[in-house]
Structure 1
């Protein structure tokens, strides 16, 4: 019973993390900078420049926003291309990892016997951990390049990093349930030798 609860909790945590990372692809304000807002005038003129993976935008103090979509792939800077690619690959592979973990859970009736389910669960958990490289390095790559310029880091970068840590925690919970069973199996075999 405890193994099932740990696996269900791991599934919910890793699925929530995958959803967080999925949401970061569509969110605005990956990097933000503020222009103006200083001087002795009683009218404060401020403008914000912000961008995400798909467009650059400029919002003035009257809340009028002008956006320019990135026209073609090769006209985008290298870190935006890399971030897009890492996130898309990580999301696709993470979907398969979550699916393998769902099939391998003890409470599902698909996937075969206990040993096959344990193998599916362990392979799904290792897939999620290896996909963590894509999840974690994509916002990090974008944030490092933004840090060298005069940009502030936006909320999607932090949401993606939180999602990556949730995925890692869920994968560790999966692996603990499988490893605990394997260790108890080895200890009972050792008694009889």
Structure 2
């Protein structure tokens, strides 16, 4: 594998994993503004764990969601996917560090290191897919409720936490693809094909050796 590609892929995956940790506790996954006079104008914002409100004076109050089972199904699924994304990213970082050429874990066995780095790329891809599904599913429900004219509840808009999640998923997917695409033999010295030697045909001849001179000239009178 190319060490430069390894370093770039590891950096992308690591940044994606850090941004997942930033997006998960971010409070601004969806934001709604309740207009009124100067006293009643407030901003309501939520994430996967709590709901907060801020009035025009800057005072904000937050409360955690009281029950997990009382939440909507997409919120529960988004929670599970984001937690799985953090776990997958952690395993991807460990596998990539072990599989890099500068690592001393596997010695000089670069084929084994390449396979371990490829496993790290798979973990980064899983991290990006989990994050992308969770964030996109959450955003889909926001837009569905916003454009529904008969929806009776509060309508929200997409918050900054979702944009951080999309950026994280993109970085993780790019890092995983770089590792998988570069996880191959760089030169023919790492894998030498078995040399083909055609069998040597030995023939024995036990008869008299014929001379290599010019052919004899026979005439009709030589035969009896």
TM-score higher than 0.5 here? Answer: yes
How much has 1:188 moved relative to structure 2? Answer: 6.7
Structure 1 residues 143, 185: closer, same or farther in 2, change over 3 A? farther
Q: Counterparts of 1:27 and 1:180 in 2: how far apart (Å)? A: 42
Structure 1 residues 139, 185: closer, same or farther in 2, change over 3 A? farther
- Would the aligned equivalents of 2:29 and 2:47 in 1 still touch at CA under 8 Å? yes
2:62 maps to 1:63: no
Aligned match of 2:137: 141
How much has 1:157 moved relative to structure 2? Answer: 0.6
Q: Counterparts of 2:191 and 2:185 in 1: how far apart (Å)? A: 11
Structural RMSD (CA)? 2.4
Runs of 5+ unmatched residues, structure 2: 146-154, 197-224
* 1:8-43 residue CA offsets vs partner (Å, 9 max, x unmatched): 111111100111011111111100011115xxx7x4
1:84 to 73, 79, 98: 79
How much has 1:144 moved relative to structure 2? Answer: 0.7
Q: Counterparts of 1:88 and 1:130 in 2: how far apart (Å)? A: 12
Bigger relative CO (Cα 8 Å, ≥ 6 apart):
1
Indicate the structure with greater helix content: 1
* Partner SS, residue 56 of structure 1: strand
Aligned match of 1:19: 18
* Partner SS, residue 132 of structure 2: helix
How much has 1:62 moved relative to structure 2? Answer: 1.3
Q: Counterparts of 2:169 and 2:106 in 1: how far apart (Å)? A: 27
Point out 4+ residue stretches in structure 1 off by more than 6 angstroms: 185-188
Aligned residues: 186
1:102 to 97, 104, 110: 97
Output the TM-score relative to the length of structure 1.
Answer: 0.86
Aligned match of 1:166: 171
2:134 maps to 1:129: no
Q: Counterparts of 1:122 and 1:22 in 2: how far apart (Å)? A: 24
2:67 to 51, 69, 72: 72
Structure 1 residues 8, 130: closer, same or farther in 2, change over 3 A? same
Q: Counterparts of 2:190 and 2:98 in 1: how far apart (Å)? A: 25
Q: Counterparts of 1:163 and 1:24 in 2: how far apart (Å)? A: 8
Larger Rg: 2
How much has 1:48 moved relative to structure 2? Answer: 0.9
Report the more deviating stretch, 101-110 or 128-137. 128-137
